[in-house]
Amino acid sequence: MPLPSPLLHCALLLALSGPAVAADGPTPVTLTSGTFNGTVSLAVDTDRRLLSGYFDDGRCRFQFDSPLQPVALPQRSELGEAYSLRGWDPRTPERSFSVALYTLARGGFRDQLTIEADDRDPNRPAACRWRTSLDRDSWVSSSFIGVRVVSARHAKVRAGKPDGDGVRLERSTEAAVPRGTVVWIGKTYSPGWNLPGLVQANWYQPVGTPHGGYLREADLYRLPAQEEELP
């Protein structure tokens, strides 16, 4: 897709600008959890100050994460809010590459985002376009703190039933989750809901149809070694 001339000018500046640097002074965070054109799934954890997501346009697929700390992209002061991310193919998490996430829209990330996979990074997947701009199509709960991807062919789901201050697992009440499904990791407000080896997950497949339950951590693509495991 051809870039309009102002954006082409910005893209050329970014190519020459070098790496992102920490922003001077506090930058308001407008980034919120949700989906963009069915291509980017994004979770913002304001308590742990982390963001994570998954990019999937059918050919290019990668997870990404970053501290929830805006950065300044040199020579791009008009952006306002931007993030320097680490991306990786879920199948090969050890091969991470540089990604930039920012917005040009009035109102910030509430409306639109642009994501760039650094074409100078040798680990960048060959199928990934350098630059994609997307419009928001939905919001999701602020209690979702992470985005993961199912790796097992048919990941089994366990339903949880409140039991005192914790949860008791019941037999599976949901169909198995197919490999490649994007799941949102839910925040648990009590230690009794954190079950060893399991994560509380939610997903929307078919689109707009909510499901939830506990999945085995082993049935999700693993995070890179330097990333903390989500509770």
**Residue ranges of domains in the chain:** 5-138, 145-219
Q: Do β-strands 82-88 and 166-169 pair in parallel, antiparallel, or remain unpaired? A: unpaired
Would the pLDDT of 10 be above 50? no
CA-wise closest residue to 84 among 101, 62, 109: 101
Would the pLDDT of 223 be above 70? yes
Q: How far is CA 214 from the centre of its chain?
A: 20
CA-wise closest residue to 53 among 152, 185, 142, 165: 185
Q: In this predicted model, what pLDDT tens digit does every residue of 165-203 receive, in sequence order? A: 777 787 766 678 999 999 999 988 887 778 888 899 999
CA-wise closest residue to 30 among 68, 67, 65: 68
The β-bridge partners of 148 are 183
pLDDT at 180: 93
pTM: 0.82
Would the pLDDT of 73 be above 90? no
Share of the chain above pLDDT 70, in %: 81
Q: In this predicted model, what pLDDT tens digit does every residue of 33-63 receive, in sequence order? A: 999 999 999 999 999 999 999 999 999 999 9
